[in-house]
Chain A
Amino acid sequence: MRITGAKMVTESLKEEGVDVVFGYPGGAIMNVYDEIYKQSFFQHILTRHEQAAIHAAEGFAKSTGKVGVAIVTSGPGFTNAVTGLADAYMDSVPMVVISGQVPTTIIGTDGFQEIDAVGISRPCTKHNYLVNDIKDLPRIIKEAFHIAATGRPGPVHIDIPKDITAEVANFEYPKEVDIPTYKPTVNYNKRQLKKAMGAIAKSKKPLLYVGGGAILANCAYEIREFAKMTNIPVVETLMARGVMGDDNELFMGMLGMHGEFAANMAAHDTDCIISLGARFDDRVTGRLDEFAKKAKVIHVDVDPTSIGKLVDTNYPIVGDLKVTVEGMIEAAKDMQFNEYTNWVSLLRDYKEKEPLRYQDSDSVIKPQWAIERVGQILGENAIISTDVGQHQMWTAQFYPFSFPRQWNTSGGLGTMGFGLPGAMGVARGNPDKVSINFTGDGSILMNIQELMTCVEYNLPVINIILNNNYLGMVRQWQTLFYENRLSETDLSAQPDFKKLVEAFGGVGYRVSTKKEFEEALKDAVEKKKPAMIDVIVARDEIVLPMVPNGHALNEMTLLGDSNE
């Protein structure tokens, strides 16, 4: 059939089974929006800012495992989307982002709302396209979805000039993708795996170090099974929260800068570290030359560039993580492993003696208490998003995660403003769960306009502001490393959040006692409306444990060490 380029876009999305698109219209993308108006197979959600459209698509993708889709216009529409693209790139979120571009006849003349979009998106996307010829459009969209979802996932950006969306050509959506230069490795090298398994069996203190790749590859339950059959303890990175489930006997906690004592000691003392979909990020390793320095390193990753990038690897294994872990389970069935009972009980001991904890109070709400309380009340009935800062670290530490994709946060890029739109995407993709966004009084204002989107589309996101009147994480560093010179981190000037959310048409609460908090939460969950609970919390609380910059993981500052 002969159709316009704009219709090709909507038809292709239909072919890909897309059921929701987040976006914002504008001049260069209008032809596509006209087709969106005429169709009924997917919903379009109008965010109030392009950055939020991308974050919402991320939240949707992270919580459902599907490819997120966002559509924006040229120029400022696209530049607003860049932060979202960079965020998705750093956290390997499968996404397709379509932007309008000025007509091909205008490209290069500094036209109205023209910017070199593919030039800007190149370093923050897995791949990008500028469509030069309408005949390429169906193939490009097909390739984009394939590239976004396979190998190490990531965002793919397609820039479409306006005249191409107006042109008419024959449309046939390709069934197959054939990119001769893109063949991600799926199957691991069997000999290499055998050698690695031998090293594990011989080790005395092995450790599974699990990263966000375990979520992306959908192999959390395989990892649980492998850990159980071999009795090897597990630590999670920030992005992997929920892989093991927090009540698992072999789960030793999150490791890294704000990781718990047992997890960091495990990583420090292990003699064989098995990295599954993790990438030895600086926030995990602390001082690199001290990280797991007694250990043989087994590194499983679908992306070869992650291997050997920071830490020398004894057993590199490139392959799909799910396939590889299944192979490990298979291999482990006919193998004799050492007894790791002493090692596990030593770590359990650490966990008991030095748990994550805080000084609770009856006169003021502690932020950690609020998070724990939500965990006790909602537990596995909620999917948790966060913004970035102290509240994010406390949530990672104190929320009792129990399943993969229950956790939606901006890890790699650390984007303040991610939480509300991200939680919106979660709400759209998971109507049977409560979508909670833990946020801070700094972060929430970065995409506050999305309350309008939540209200318009009835996406019942419950925003819980842990309000300490500070840009808390920066303030924490100023206190610890800058002799308490609080440069530009006092946020005492702030809106009345309760009135603000009410102005948008949502439900607002302002609470300063535990009882008020519990009542507000209960009410918000029952009302099933977009809500914001402004929780006045202890101002000077800091995130502990903490591995100061340039220190090794066993050099943690623990609660009781600090002068606070």
Chain B
Amino acid sequence: MNNFNHYYDSETTRQVISVIVINEHNVLSRIVGLFSARGYNIDSLTVAPMTGSKYSRMTIVTTGSKRVIDQIVKQLNKLIPVLKVNEHQNVIEKETVLIKIPIEQPLSDIEVIARAYNGHIQNVTHDAIVISATDAPSRIANFTNIMNKYKPLEVVKSGVVAMER
């Protein structure tokens, strides 16, 4: 390679990207199609309309070498309905998990652990309780791991939402 200040090394990094897009049909498939066609990773993708505008915000978590991340940002920018792409450096990331646990499990233990992870019980029926927690993705991963002890019936995770500090 041309010895250009080694900007591109092949080390893989995790990158949070937010994409502001015109809120029209087909736009999500354009983005997802771009990633699959060019062999980029999507670790997580969340999307919701931005209030009071015709735009939506997508938050995409991806991994790749610097060159790949660079291409992802440029290729996203190239799509016609994309208004803006941000590569976030310093972000608050949040993820939500919902876990359904059989009612026979020790509820008080569960509640204590949930509270340690900013979570709480959301719902109780005769046969199960549902707890939820919202926190940084790594903490949510820990929480989910711990909860595996209590024989969860179902675990549902949201993708990541992020905002620069």
Q: Give A152's nearest chain B residue, CB to CB.
A: B78
Q: Mark A137-180, 1 if CB is under 8 A from B, else 0.
A: 00000000001000000000000000000000000000000011
**A195 CA to B37 CA, complexed, in Å:** 36
Q: Give A119's nearest chain B residue, CB to CB.
A: B29
B92 contacts the other chain (CB 8 A) = no
Chain A residue contacts of B70, Cβ below 8 A = 308
Chain B residue contacts of A122, Cβ below 8 A = 26, 29-30, 33
- Secondary structure at the B interface, as helix, strand, loop or mixed, is mixed
Given contacts A305-B71, A312-B2, contact A181 B22 (CB under 8 A): yes
**A208 CA to B78 CA, complexed, in Å:** 26
Task: Give min CB distance, B106 to chain A, whole Å.
Answer: 49
Contact B83 A181, beta carbon cutoff 8 Å:
yes
Given contacts A123-B33, A305-B78, contact A293 B26 (CB under 8 A): no
Contact B80 A179, beta carbon cutoff 8 Å:
yes
Contact A311 B80, beta carbon cutoff 8 Å:
no
Contact B75 A147, beta carbon cutoff 8 Å:
no
Residue in B4, B21, B67 whose Cβ sees the most chain A Cβ within 10 Å: B4
A309 contacts the other chain (CB 8 A) = yes
Given contacts A118-B26, A181-B81, A312-B7, contact A304 B1 (CB under 8 A): no
Task: Give min CB distance, B83 to chain A, whole Å.
Answer: 5
Contact A147 B74, beta carbon cutoff 8 Å:
no
A127 contacts the other chain (CB 8 A) = yes
Task: Give min CB distance, A316 to chain B, whole Å.
Answer: 11
Given contacts A119-B29, A309-B71, contact A292 B2 (CB under 8 A): yes
**A128 CA to B71 CA, complexed, in Å:** 22
Q: Give A304's nearest chain B residue, CB to CB.
A: B74
A182 contacts the other chain (CB 8 A) = yes
Given contacts A181-B83, A304-B78, contact A314 B4 (CB under 8 A): yes
Q: Mark A402-436, 1 if CB is under 8 A from B, else 0.
A: 00000000000000000000000000000000000
Q: CB within 8 A of A293: which of B1, B25, B80, B81?
A: B1
Chain A residue contacts of B4, Cβ below 8 A = 297, 312-314
Task: Give min CB distance, A102 to chain B, whole Å.
Answer: 17
Task: Give min CB distance, A391 to chain B, whole Å.
Answer: 31
Q: Mark A113-130, 1 if CB is under 8 A from B, else 0.
A: 000001100110011101
Contact B26 A182, beta carbon cutoff 8 Å:
no
Q: CB within 8 A of B2: which of A119, A179, A295, A307?
A: A295
B82 contacts the other chain (CB 8 A) = yes
**A147 CA to B79 CA, complexed, in Å:** 11
Task: Give min CB distance, B45 to chain A, whole Å.
Answer: 17
Task: Give min CB distance, B157 to chain A, whole Å.
Answer: 28
Q: Give A122's nearest chain B residue, CB to CB.
A: B33
Chain A residue contacts of B21, Cβ below 8 A = 181
Chain B residue contacts of A518, Cβ below 8 A = none
A372 contacts the other chain (CB 8 A) = no
Q: CB within 8 A of A147: which of B1, B2, B25, B80?
A: B80
A289 contacts the other chain (CB 8 A) = yes
Contact B78 A289, beta carbon cutoff 8 Å:
no
**A122 CA to B26 CA, complexed, in Å:** 9
B134 contacts the other chain (CB 8 A) = no
A296 contacts the other chain (CB 8 A) = yes
Task: Give min CB distance, A552 to chain B, whole Å.
Answer: 13
Give the contacts of B16-35 with A (CB-CB under 8 A): 21-22, 25-26, 29-30, 33
A326 contacts the other chain (CB 8 A) = no
Given contacts A118-B26, A119-B29, contact A305 B75 (CB under 8 A): yes
Task: Give min CB distance, A101 to chain B, whole Å.
Answer: 14
Given contacts A123-B37, A308-B70, contact A182 B80 (CB under 8 A): yes
Q: Give B74's nearest chain A residue, CB to CB.
A: A305
Chain B residue contacts of A123, Cβ below 8 A = 33, 37
9 closest cross-chain pairs (CB), A and B: A312-B4, A305-B74, A127-B80, A181-B83, A304-B74, A123-B37, A182-B80, A312-B2, A305-B75
Which B residues are closer than 8 A to A by beta carbons? 1-2, 4, 7-8, 21-22, 25-26, 29-30, 33, 37, 67, 70-71, 74-75, 77-78, 80-83
**Please, could you name 16 A-B residue pairs with CB atoms under 8 Å apart, sorted by A?**
A122-B33, A123-B33, A123-B37, A127-B80, A128-B26, A180-B83, A181-B21, A297-B2, A297-B4, A305-B74, A305-B75, A308-B8, A308-B70, A308-B71, A311-B2, A312-B1
